[in-house]
Amino acid sequence: MYDPRLSPASSATSPATAVGSLDLSAIIPVHGVDGARVRRVIGEYRAVLDTLDLTYEVIVVVSGRDPDLTEAMTNLAREGAVRVIVLGAWPGAATALSIGFAHSTGRLLLTLPPLHQVAVEALPELIGALGERDMLVVRRWPRRDGRLKQLQTRAFAFFLRTTLRLPFKDLGCGVRLFRRDVLDTVYIYGDQQRFLPVLAERYGYHVAEVDLPQAPRGEGGGPRASFLPAAYVRRLLDLLSIFFLVNYTIKPLRFFGLTGLVTFLAGTIMTLYLAAERVFMDESLADRPLLLLGLLLVVLGVQLFAIGLIGELIIYIHARNLTTYTIERLVGFEASAEEDAGAMSAMSGGVTSASDEASGGEARALHPAADRPR
């Protein structure tokens, strides 16, 4: 059910807005979409969420550079249906989601696209499937896309499976459900929203993928895929950044050192070969571009190796503040804690008795509580 205490007129410091006071927060980043269509989609989202025995809120993050969209969402907020965060400029979907997370209060977080990607009536199935898991990623299945879009998704899944050894099959879907604890460790920015499950998996959270039917095309359906070359370049760069973040965040020397070593050896072999030709075969090096290439590779290899060393030094300095793991639970520590507390209490009692005897009762006068039975 929608919590009426979350109307725009409610105070930001009221108990209703405390973190964890609600069961669910739905975050919707909206950019470059028709306001009337988004309004209908949000209404359908709320109609389904109202059927659940949950208190929830809907937070919309929108760019203020689109006046028509901003006005439509602001009017929706005045009706008490959503809470709206208006940004000055669009910082990217991942950053917009992070801003929405920071202003949310639910114990569970649900990210939703501004236009349907999955059948809206299947959302209760997603929420019910969380169980003991930390995060659920939706796979749109069966698919209703064109073949080119499906080929994109399969190629992306193949890259994740071969390079990062991750089983996700549809990270392009923006519907995710996860616990608030995930945000304590994982941080996303720019356009990394699709890689949130990858980073959560890296930190040891239990991430699973569930199948939900894809929304039909038509009114309220998702936008058509963009196949512009610039989109492919951006996705390739995002893949490279995630590949580096997942594998070499705390061990940069393994990447830069290996790359620099290979480059240095290649340049050294070229240079030694040319030097041997000059010494033993009296070959001229004045018109040999290979010499410049060899020297360039040697210098580049040294620089790459130096970058890796500097990265290792930075990691070492900040090692205490780095956390690349999560503790799921502790077993057998409760009894140890009680024994330690008892030992500390006994030691404290012994010290107090010795002080009392040495001070001739002066300690009891200063601390009358010492005479009380325990």
pLDDT of residue 165: 85
Residue 114 zone, left/alpha/beta (φ > 0; ψ -120 to 50; rest):
alpha
pLDDT in tens, 213-233: 999 875 445 555 555 677 778
pLDDT in tens, the chain (374 residues): 655 444 443 333 333 468 888 999 999 999 999 999 999 999 999 999 999 999 999 999 999 899 999 999 999 999 999 999 999 999 989 999 999 999 999 999 999 999 999 999 999 999 999 999 999 999 999 998 888 888 888 888 888 888 888 889 999 899 999 999 998 889 888 888 999 999 999 889 999 999 999 998 754 455 555 556 777 788 788 888 888 888 888 889 999 999 999 999 999 999 999 999 999 998 888 888 999 999 999 999 999 999 999 999 998 888 777 777 777 778 878 666 566 666 556 555 544 444 444 444 443 333 444 444 43
Q: Give strand pairing partners of 136.
A: 177, 208
For 338-349, the pLDDT digits (tens) are 666 665 565 555
Mean pLDDT of the chain: 83
- Say if residues 89 and 95 touch (Cβ distance below 8 Å): no
Count CB-CB contacts under 10 A for residue 365: 11
**Angle formed by the axes of helices 252-280 and 229-248, to 10°?**
100
- Residue 24's nearest CA partner among 117, 121, 126, 119 is 126
Query: Which tens digits make up the pLDDT trace of 161-177?
Result: 888 888 899 998 999 99
- Reference 176, options 146, 218, 205, 154; nearest CA is 205
